[in-house]
Amino acid sequence: MEANEAHELHEHAEHAFHDAAMRPVAFTMSVLAVLVAITTVLGHRTHTEAVLYQNKATDQWNYYQAKKIRSNDTALATDLLSAVTIADKDVAKRIAAAYADHQAKWTGDLKEEQEKAEALETKVIHAEAKADRFDLAEAMLEIGLVVTSVTLLTRRRMYWYMGLVFSAAGMISAATVYFLK
């Protein structure tokens, strides 16, 4: 919501405050404005959380890729050593054993790094789902606020009730964030 819109709604609320019949509507608008602000902040923080998890997942996949490259280099060196004849058989066995140990280490590390990256991607998906719910809640609360403000212009309570319905849908959407698994 922009500053001029908030100012305009505030002016309408001041006029309505002097009319006793419109005081509940003005109060409702004030509460809805606070709820919109809270939901907006929660949505922005959740989007930021999703971006941070995505960056961590990307870093983790890069780390996985670096280890995969090392594993491939080790496999290539092992293949090369099997094709080359080394005069000292003891040295050849030690080198082959060292490369085999490295290859076993890279294989274990790769699985671990992949699991870490996939876990971070799951967190990204979860944070994005939460952010989507907050975005929907924000939109519904804003619609509720605007429709409620129409009551001040028309003096018809029907708009107040419609605004309350939209606002209730927004609050339900925000509350469902805490039930996401």
Residue 131's pLDDT band (cuts 50, 70, 90): very high
Where do the structural domains in the chain lie, given as residue ranges? Answer: 3-179
Q: 58, 167, 178: which is closest to 121 by C-alpha?
A: 58
| Cα–chain center distance at 6 | 28
Query: Residue 168 CB: number of other CB atoms within 10 A?
Result: 13
Give tens-digit pLDDT for 10-51: 666 666 555 777 888 889 999 999 999 999 999 999 999 999
pLDDT at residue 133 is higher than 80: yes
Quick one: pLDDT at residue 104? 79
Contact (CB, 8 A) for 93 and 82: no
Distance CA 48, CA 52 (A): 6
Give tens-digit pLDDT for 143-173: 999 999 999 888 888 999 999 999 999 999 9
Give tens-digit pLDDT for 74-126: 777 777 777 777 777 777 777 777 777 777 777 888 888 989 999 999 999 99
